[in-house]
Structure 1
Amino acid sequence: MNVLLNDMAEHEKLDQFIARIKAGEKIEADDWMPEDYRGTLIKLISMHGISEIMGALPEKEWVPKAPTLNRKLGIMAKVQDEMGHGQLLLRVAEDLLKPYNKKRDDLMQDLFTGDLKFHNVFHMESKSWGDAGLIGWLVDGAAIISQTNMLGASYGPYARALHRICAEEVFHAQHGEAIIMALAEGTEEQRKMVQDSIDYWWESLLLFFGPPSKNEVGSSKQDVTIKYRIRTSTNEELRQAFFSKYVKRILSLGYTIPDETLRFDKDTETWIYQQPDWGKLKIIARNEGPRSQQRLNLRRISYENNKWVREALAPKVI
Structure 2
Amino acid sequence: MYGGGNTFEAPKPEELETNEDPQLLAAFEARIARGEKIEPHDWMPALYRKQLIRMIEQHAHSEIIGALPEGTWITRAPSFKRKMALMAKVQDEVGHAQLLYGAAETLGKSREAMLHDLITGKSKYSNIFNYPAFTWADSTVISWLVDAGAIVNQTANAKGSYAPYCRALERICAEESFHLKYGHDAVVHLATGTPLQRQMVQEALNRWWPPIMHFFGPPDKMSVHTEVLVRWKVKMATNDECRQQFMDMYVPKIWELGLTLPDPNLRKNAETGVWEYTEPDWEEFKRVINGDGPCNKERLAVRRTAEERGAWVRKALLSPKMQYVAPLA
TM-score by length of 1: 0.92
Q: Is the 8 A contact 1:120 1:284 kept in 2?
A: yes
Tell me which residue corresponds to 1:62. 73
**What residue number does 1:5 align with?**
none
4+ residue stretches of structure 1 with deviation over 4 A? none
Matches within 5 A, 1:306-317: 306-314=310-318, 316=320
- What is the alpha-carbon distance in structure 2 between the residues aligned to residue 158 and residue 232 of structure 1? 13
Name the structure 2 match of 1:6: none
- The whole-number CA distance in structure 1 between the counterparts of 2:226 and 2:195 is 43
Alignment length (residue pairs): 303
Partner in structure 1 of residue 93 of structure 2: 82
The answer for the alignment partner of 1:141 in structure 2 is: 148
1:3 corresponds to which residue? none
**Residue in 1 aligned with 2:10?**
none
Question: 2:128 aligns to what?
Answer: 121
Determine the C-alpha separation between the residues in 2 that align with 1:315 and 1:275.
53
Give the match for residue 297 of structure 1. Answer: 301
Determine whether 1:258 maps to 2:265.
Answer: no
Distance 1:243 1:266 in 2: 14
- Partner amino acid, structure 2, of 1:17: F
Query: Identity of counterpart residues, as a percentage?
Result: 46
Q: Could you tell me which amino acid in structure 1 is paired with residue 42 of structure 2? A: D
Note if 1:238 corresponds to 2:242.
yes
Q: Name 2:221's counterpart in structure 1.
A: 214
- Selected match of 1:11 from 13, 22, 46: 22
CA deviations on 1:108-136 (whole Å, 9 max, x unpaired) are: 11112211111011001000000010001
Provide the rounded CA distance (Å) in 2 between the counterparts of 1:32 and 1:311. 35
1:26 alignment partner in structure 2: 37
Higher relative contact order (CA 8 A, sep 6+): 2
Offset, 1:151: 1.4
Whole-angstrom CA distance in 1 between matches of 2:243 and 2:168: 23
Whole-Å separation in 1 of the counterparts to 2:291 and 2:221: 26
Q: 1:278-297 counterparts in 2 under 5 A? A: 278-297=282-301
Aligned residues of 1:152 and 1:230 also touching (Cα < 8 A): no
Residue 317 of structure 1 and its aligned partner are, at CA, apart by 8.4
| Structure-2 separation of matches of 1:153 and 1:201 | 29
The gaps in structure 2 that reach 5 residues or longer are 1-19, 323-329
Shift of 1:223: 3.1
- In 2, Cα distance between the equivalents of 1:274 and 1:315? 56
**Aligned equivalents of 1:13, 1:67: Cα separation in 2:** 58
**Segment drifting more, 81-90 vs 304-313:** 304-313
| Structure 1: unaligned runs, 5 residues or longer | 1-8
Match of 1:49 among 56, 60, 74: 60
Q: Tell me by how many angstroms 1:225 deviates.
A: 2.1
Deviations 1:47-97 (A, max 9, x none): 101100000000110000001111110000000000000011011111212
In the TM superposition, what whole-angstrom CA distance separates every residue of 1:188-217 from its partner, at most 9, and x where no partner exists?
A: 1100011001100000000000111227xx
Contact 1:135 1:176 in 2 (8 A): yes
More moved, 159-168 vs 106-115: 106-115
Q: Secondary structure in 1 aligned to 2:291?
A: coil
- Which residue of structure 2 lines up, in the alignment, with residue 4 of structure 1? none
Q: Which amino acid aligns with 2:44?
A: M
Hey, what's the Cα distance between the residues in 1 that align with 2:320 and 2:231? 42
Distance 1:227 1:313 in 2: 42
TM-score, reference length from structure 2: 0.89
Counterpart residue identity of residue 63, structure 2: E
Aligned counterparts of 2:141 and 2:101: Cα–Cα separation in 1? 26
- CA–CA distance in 1 between the matches of 2:212 and 2:305? 29
What is the CA–CA distance in structure 2 between the aligned matches of 1:223 and 1:48, rounded to whole Å? 20
| Other structure's SS at 1:214 match | helix
1:275 partner SS: coil
- The residue aligned with 1:150 is 157
Aligned partners of 1:262 and 1:272 also within 8 Å: yes
- 118, 124, 137: which one aligns with 1:130: 137
2:207 to 176, 194, 200: 200
Which residue of structure 2 lines up, in the alignment, with residue 267 of structure 1?
271
Quote the offset at 1:312 in angstroms: 2.5
Shift of 1:32: 1.1
- Residue in 2 that maps onto 1:188: 195
CA-to-partner distance for each residue in 1:226-263, whole Å, 9 max, x for gaps?
Answer: 01012321100100001101111111111111011111
Amino acid at match of 1:107: M
